[in-house]
Amino acid sequence: MSPRKSGLGRGLEALIPLAEEEATAQGVIEAPLASITPNPHQPRVPIRDQDLVELAASIEEHGIIQPLVVTRTMDGYQLIAGERRWRAARLAGLSTVPVVVKDVAPSEMLELALVENLQRADLNPLEEATAYRQLIEEFGLTQQQVARRVGKSRVAVSNTLRLLKASRPVQEA
């Protein structure tokens, strides 16, 4: 019976393939950005340039946290979900992005793109302001540092924080 070889004791290089196998087992791979085309069934209204600039700044700081969802095509991949992240990654100058590859029929692409957008629960402005205050108070960050870390302008962070000083009826509006 041959002994099973372990990555332990053989250096970091021996463990890297194990990490790559684990990522692939979970369905996340790195795909060349140039090989991905947009979803022609994108349900989201046109994406504002300022939103893309802010997201690109966040991606430059933190990378892409949530992988894009794609399907295979003859020439590469087509987006199912994540067009804002895809466009912002291009703007940020990335060459590859994390993706989850799903085998879907063209008729399912709009459905999946719509479900992905409907399932997302974005923070409301008050929740966003509370999170900014928490970063400032608990971690000693300045408004400028918060802005850089979340990919927003300092003015946007400052204006959002002002909500915390508003009356309760204004906050709940």
If one counts every other C-beta atom within 10 angstroms of the C-beta of residue 52, the result is 17
pTM: 0.64
CATH number for the 27-119 domain, one of 3.90.1530.30, 3.20.20.80, 3.30.365.10, 3.50.50.60? 3.90.1530.30
Q: What is the pLDDT along the chain (173 residues), one digit of tens a residue?
A: 444 444 444 444 444 344 344 445 557 899 999 999 998 877 666 778 888 899 999 999 899 988 999 999 999 999 988 888 999 999 999 999 999 998 888 767 767 776 776 666 667 788 888 888 888 888 888 999 888 887 789 999 999 999 999 888 887 77
Whether the Cβ atoms of residue 32 and residue 95 lie closer than 8 Å to each other: yes
130: enclosing H helix or E strand: helix 125-139
- Mark whether 83 is an active-site residue: yes
What is the strand order of the sheet 76-81 is part of?
A: 28-32, 96-101, 68-73, 76-81, 36-37
Provide φ and ψ at 119, rounded to 5°.
Answer: -75, -20
20, 21, 83, 127: the catalytic one is: 83
Map out the domains of the chain as residue ranges: 27-119, 125-172
For residue 5, the number of C-alpha atoms closer than 13 Å in the C-beta half-sphere is: 6
